[in-house]
């Protein structure tokens, strides 16, 4: 019984690590935290990582739209 419990705890830890680690990364990039669940699936995770690396992130689109709105000027710091 103890071996099964230990195996179950290890399995939960192995499945939870990608969600806990990559969830915040996905949110910073502008994606849903749910995308980190894809990393649990074998072979699908390789495609997801490749896709995530090469597509344009929503956060980049938002930053580009913000830059276009202010005429491409850098933000002013301090009084001025």
Q: Note whether residue 53 is domain-resident.
A: yes
Q: Note whether residue 56 is domain-resident.
A: yes
Q: Note whether residue 22 is domain-resident.
A: yes
Domain housing 38: 2-69
Q: Note whether residue 43 is domain-resident.
A: yes
Residues 43-72: b if buried by 16+ CB within 10 A, e if exposed: eeeeebeeebeeeeeeeeeeeeeeeeeeee
Where does residue 38 rank: exposed (0-12), middle (13-18), buried (19+ CB within 10 A)?
middle
Question: For helices 2-29 and 44-54, what crossing angle results, to 10°?
Answer: 20
pLDDT digits (tens, 9 = 90+) for 9-58: 999 988 888 889 988 988 888 888 888 888 888 899 899 889 888 888 88
Q: Note whether residue 80 is domain-resident.
A: no
Q: Note whether residue 30 is domain-resident.
A: yes
Using pLDDT thresholds of 50, 70 and 90, give the confidence band for residue 6. very high
Q: Note whether residue 45 is domain-resident.
A: yes
Q: Note whether residue 78 is domain-resident.
A: no
Cα separation, 68 vs 70, in Å, equals: 6
């Amino acid at each position: 019984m103890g071996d099964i419990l230990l195996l179950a705890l290890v399995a939960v830890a192995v499945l939870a690590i990608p969600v806990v680690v990559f969830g915040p990364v996905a949110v910073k990039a502008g994606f849903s935290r749910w995308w980190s669940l894809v990393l649990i699936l074998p072979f699908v995770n390789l495609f997801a990582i490749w896709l995530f690396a090469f597509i344009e992130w929503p956060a980049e689109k938002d930053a580009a739209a913000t830059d276009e709105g202010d005429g491409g000027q850098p933000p002013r710091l301090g009084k001025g």
